[in-house]
Each structure stands twice: as structure tokens, then as C-alpha cells.
Amino acid sequence: MTWTRLSNVLLPATVVFVSVVTLLLLAGTNPWDPLRVIVEGSIGWPPFEEGSARKVGDTFMLWVPIALASAGLIVTFNAGMWNIGIEGQIIMGAIAAAWVAREVSAPRPLLVFLTILAGAVGGMLWGLLVGLLRTAGGVNEIFGGLGLDFVALSLTTYLIIGPWARSGVASTSGTDPFPDEALLPSLANSKLSLLAVGITVLALVGVWILFRGTLYGLRLKAVGRNRPSSFLLGIPTNRYLLGAFMICGALAGIAGTSQATGFHFKLIPAISGGFGFLAILVVLLARFRPIWVVPISFFFAMVAVGSPGLSLRLDLHGSLGGVLQGVLVLSAMLGLGWAAYLARRRLIAGGTSST
Amino acid sequence: MLSKRLLQMLAALLAFALVAAACGDSSSDTTAGTTATTVDSGGGGTDVPEDFKVGLILVGPGNDRGYSQAHLEGAEYAVEQLGLSADDDLIVLEFANTTDTPGLSLPGTARDMVDLGADMIIFNSDDMRDGAFEAAEQLPEVPMVWASGDSAWVDGKDYQANLTNLSNVWGQMIFGKMIAGCAAALETETGDLAYLGPLTNDETRRLVNSAYLGAQYCWENFRDGNPADLGFEVTYIGFWFEIPGVTLDPVLVTNAFIDGGADVTLSGIDANVALIRSGQRADAGENVKAVPYDFIGACDEAPDICLGVPYFNWGPAYLEAAQAVIDGSFSNTWTWFEPDWSDINDPDTSVVGFFQGNGLSADNAASLDTFIAGLADGSIELYTGPLNWQDGSEFLAAGEVATDFQIWYSEQCLEGVAGACSVNVFG
């Protein structure tokens, strides 16, 4: 039994290790160097050394949207929904936060609160729309979500080169920077916002509690596992599905707020950073467990921040970081699947021999 | 259950330990600083610190046969002229834009380059304005060059007095575009020219206007054409290069130009799409030509239909900046380099040039040379009134010659240019 448990970890780890090392050897580099550069470029070496505040801040501020989106996706995945529309929910959160940042004048604490609130509401409404298309319109959430992703992206582009264009410029490079009062408060010489990190931790803990200690979470899980049966047992399944989309959308919207007011300080077309799609992989790797979202999403944030160093320090193509990320996810999924397959076989073999 | 979690945690710790061990054994390539050792520059005789390094941040790929490649080759030229090695002494980051690199931080990249020994940093894109300002503010002791902008122009609209370590360099591409427009007007058979624009701002309107003025001049003076008969249409895609799902697709825009009757497309974007697509249409039997932009070698993509290319030759500009850093005279200056009119294609002196392509007939090439000679000796001064803006309001009164300020801040396209040039493209 111990061997079974050990193989559940070692097998995927070995597959990941072999795949990544092979990829890096094929790229013509010592396998350790890119890892070293990514660590050094994202959190410094030794980790969190003095002078690495800027890097650490950037990494945490990318960890925030990935982890928040992942937290939201755990909710929709548990409800049996593939919320591909999370990219659009991040974008709509960023747009709503940007609107407040641009249009509202208030003391900083209030303005920051309003941007976060607006981001949550923007994402939540966009998530609700996906849910309504699913429950009331019969549109599969994958197609509905994907379509709304494009709508959100187009809306961002329209705003950036239209009503929110810079003075004298119509460029998709982004809006004017937001006023300082609207930016997430950060530590000196760093983008690190303890407020954003705190919200993210609370979100992860909240999602963990939701599925470990609440009736709502239990019912949501039931809806996800078997919707017809849940309905027959009296659970208003559509309402639960809409709730899941709204929770996920709200968290994604806060992720968008963080991107807009805590990382880029303006609205840009690529405001989501693709972190919604990345969060889907994070959640699959974390096997829907919030605790594992923390290190996995942090690792991906490290790759995002540290990858430019591959080009600077090793003369490797900067996109190798993305390739590395993809190979890592695929090989981890392969390894996990393989471990599960072997476990099933052992179970069957054990069952057969005992009869 | 507990033991399973324990094993998983141990595995994670093991993985981290492996990574950590790998990180601990090398830091030799991150050392920085300069030494007193010098080598002869071989050029101006300046003593160049042996470990002098230049950091170059490119918005796109260094092999785009367009804007970024021109910058890369310019920086390589500068480094080599200093007697240094482009491989070892030029630190390059490509794809410095938020679409390709979501985690990008320009100040962070600048700091990384300094950690790697860079003694000066070059930002190559208009898009990097905010990041360049931030970097210059955070690293006030590091000389920086922004190949764009007007932040160091005392009389400019965006002067940043506090950024004393950030210079602007730019070439007077207005002349390159005038020559491009002239070449297009000389070769067109339909009388319809098209301009593939990037995003709308003062710079891009300035270049559209310059191409239009060049085209009109040559249409009237070399082809005896009626000014009203020359069509000149611009479509902006929304950014310097295509971002799928965000900008217009330049291939489709080029197709639309050709389908609409334009037989010469001038490119104003960073990538060489207009020439390549026109080349494909020409291969299919259509009589179309194109004028690419930015990079001296751009015509190679479809040489037979290429009328020529107005290009930037950043080498002399970067060499001048690097020498100023080395001899300690670097200051925040705004320099708008004029072409070297004695030879606009001199790689050592002219920041703006025009390479004539195979698509230009011998007769038209001769006419183009005459036009260039007129620009060089000042007998042709295209920014002379009367000229109106696109909305009909007056830009220059009769006989009035535009100042640099008026040309730099081109708030509209000129009357006669078709297509939306306003900031709000949605009206």
C-alpha cells in the first residue's frame, strides 16, 4: 500500500523530470541552467535575498491572478462545469476596475476598495452570463464561455483605442496609466501588494472551507457529480450552477483588478495574461485541492517572471519558458493518468486474486 | 491518508531541493561592473572599457526583417565599431511586449541587464514609453536611450525634466516616406495607392502625410498627373504588428487594398506583411507592387515587386550614444537625425536611407534620384503651404513652411488622404 502511494507521486514526478530534461537537452542547454535562471529571475538566488524585492513582488503579483482564477475554477469544476469563459471574466473584472480607476475620485482606501468591488462585480456578471447561457439557453458552457472571452477581448480593444484612448494616440498598447490613488497599495521598490496576496489567501481558504465544511459546498459537489439525481433529491441545480459561475466570476474579476491596478497599472488588451487558461491547468494538476494551488500557481508565476532571463542569460529563446510550462503540464497529466491506470490495475488484480 | 500527504510533501521538498542544488552551483555569468582595462575602439579613437556592454530591449523578434531587426543590426554595428563583440557585449531581449511576454517588467529587465554588466540600455519602441520612464526613474545612474518619443525635447509636449538619464533618438523618416510615396506614384498604373498603417498617433500620421506629399509631388511633376486623380488611402490595423484577435489582420487589409483597386501598397507596420502578401498576389498574376518599411533587407521577401524600402540605419545613432556614455558626455538629448544627404545610404553616417528595389523601372529610378536630389538640396520642400488637414482646417498657409514642432505633432492626416486617422477610430 505504501508503494502504491509512493508511486502516485514518484511516477508523475519521474515523467515530468524526464520530459523536461529531454526538452532542455534538445534545446541545446544544460538542463539545470534554465531552472536556475528562472528561480534567480523570479525570486532571486538565494531565494528572497536582499535586493530581490522587485522580482519577488512581480512573481507574487502574477501568483495572485493565477491562484485567484484557480480558486474560482475549483468551484465550477466541482459543479461539473468547464468554465473556459474565465478569461473573459478576468478581462471584465479588469474593465470594471479600470472604469472606476479612471472615472471615480475618492480617497485611496475607498477607491482601492471600489476598484476591487467593481472588478468582482464585473467578473461575476460575466460569469453569470455564461451560467445563464448554460442553464436557460442550453448553450454548452465551453462554447458560451469561449464566445464571451472573445467578446470581452474585443470590448477591451474597443475601449483602449476608442473612448479610453490616450491623448492623441489610438494604440492597442493600452490606456493611460491610472492615477496613483487607484493603484493597489504596494511595498516600496516592489509591486507586491499584501492586500492582493491577503485576498488571494482568503479566497483559497474560503474555497477549501466551502467544500470541506458547508452544506452549500456539499450540494454543489452533488450537482457536479450527478445533476439529475441532485435535482430529484430537491437541490435547485440551476441555481447552484449559477452560484458556482458567479463565485468563480467574482474571483476571476478580482484577478483582473489585480492585473490592471496592481501589475500593469493600466488597461491593456492582454490584461488577462492568459492566466485563466493557465489556471485550468493549475487546477487539473492540483486535482482541485486549494492547498496544492498555492505552490503550483507560484511555480507558474515564477516561470512567467523568470522566462525573459532565458534569453538574457542563456541566449535561449524566451518562449522556451512557455514550452517548458506546456511540457511540464502535459507530462504531469500523463504521469498522473499513468499512476491512476496502474492503481486501477492493481486494484483489479487484487480483487481477482481475493475471489 | 496522513502518510500519503506526507509522501507528497516529501516529494515536493525533494523536487525543490533538486532545483535549489542546481541553482547553487553557478553564478559566474551574473557578475557586473566595469574595469579600467581598455581597448582601442578602432573608430573614433575613444578608449572603450573592455567589458563595456549595451542592453537592447526589442519589442519584436530580432529576425522580423522589419523594425526590430533594423534595431538589432544597428546595435550590433555600434558595438562592433567600438571594437567589441556583438555576441558577448550586446545583451538582447526580444518580444518585449505584454502579449508575447505577460510577465514582462521593463524596469526589471533593465535592472537584469545592468546586473549582467550593461552600461547603457536601449528601448526600441514607442510602446515602451511607460516602462522606459519607470526604468529611468528607478535607475537614474544608468544612461538610457529610447528610440522614440520626445521626453528629452525641451520644447516638446511630453518633456520629462526629471529623467536626466533618458535620451530620445529618431530618424527623419519623413524623407524616407516622401521617397517611398514618390516611388509608388511613379509606378502606379491604377492611380490608387494604399498605406498599411500601424496605430494612429502623431508619428504615424506624420509618416502617412509625408508619403502622401511625396506621392503627390511625383504624380504631378514626373507624370503630369492631375492631383485629384491620385487616390491615397490609409487603414490602421491598431498596433505596430498584428496581435491576433486584437488588431486588424494586415494580410486581410492588404487584400482589401488590392481588391479595391490599389496597385501599390506602402507599409507602415513593423512586419513585412504588405510586401509578402502583394508578392503572393503578384505570383498569382496580378499587377501589384509594394513598398515595405524599416529594414534595409526587407525587399528580399519579394524582390521583383518591391519598389524600394525606406529604412532606419540605427548604427550611427547608437554608436554616437554609446560613445557619449563612454566619454562621460551622455545627457538627456532629443535627436531627430536628418539623412546624410551626401549619401543617404552611407551605413556609417545616415540614420535614414532608401534602398531602391527591383520593382522600380530604370526610368522611374532616375526620376526618383532627381526627387531625392531635390530634397537634399532643399529645392523640394514638401511641407510648404497651402496645406489643409483632413477635416478641411488649415495646417499651413500659402508659402508657410512647417516647423519641426508642427511636423512632429501631426494631429491629423492631410486633406487628400482617405481613411480614418483620428484617435477614436470608431468616430
Per cent of chain A over pLDDT 90 is 63
In a domain, A122, yes or no: yes
Confidence of residue B22 (pLDDT cuts 50, 70, 90): very low
**A330-352: per-residue pLDDT in tens?**
787 787 788 788 878 888 887 65
CB contact under 8 A, B26 and A33: yes
pLDDT for the residue numbered A9: 64
Measure CB to CB from residue B238 to each of A58, A172, A295 and give the nearest one: A172
**B191-232: per-residue pLDDT in tens?**
999 999 998 889 999 999 999 999 999 999 999 999 999 999
**A180-201: per-residue pLDDT in tens?**
999 999 998 889 999 999 999 9
Region A148-172: what's the mean pLDDT?
Answer: 86
Q: Which one is the CATH code of B43-171: 3.40.190.10, 3.90.600.10, 3.30.1130.10, 3.40.50.2300?
A: 3.40.50.2300
User: Where are the domains positioned within chain B?
Assistant: 43-171, 173-311+354-408
Chain A: give the shortest CA distance to residue B112, in Å.
8
- Whether B325 contacts B79, CB under 8 Å: no
Region B160-188: what's the mean pLDDT?
Answer: 97
Measure CB to CB from residue A40 to each of B11, B23, B423 and give the nearest one: B23
Chain B: give the shortest CA distance to residue A157, in Å.
6
In a domain, A354, yes or no: no
Q: Show residues of chain B in contact with A150, CB under 8 Å.
A: 245
In a domain, A317, yes or no: no
Residue A234 pLDDT > 90, yes or no? yes
In a domain, A347, yes or no: no
Fold category of B173-311+354-408 in CATH? Rossmann fold (3.40.50)
In a domain, A335, yes or no: no
Answer whether B43-171 and B173-311+354-408 agree in fold.
yes
The nearest alpha carbon in chain A to B203 belongs to A169
- Contact of A179 with chain B, judged by CB distance below 8 Å, is answered with no
Q: Which one is predicted more confidently, B97 or B14? A: B97
Q: Total domain count for chain A? A: 1
Specify the length of chain B in residues: 427
Q: Show residues of chain B in contact with A171, CB under 8 Å.
A: 126-127, 199-201, 238-239
In a domain, A214, yes or no: yes
Q: Which domain holds residue A187?
A: 63-293
ipTM above 0.85, yes or no: no
pLDDT for the residue numbered B322: 97
In a domain, A49, yes or no: no
In a domain, A152, yes or no: yes
Q: Show residues of chain A in contact with B7, CB under 8 Å.
A: 5-6, 9
- Contact of A309 with chain B, judged by CB distance below 8 Å, is answered with yes
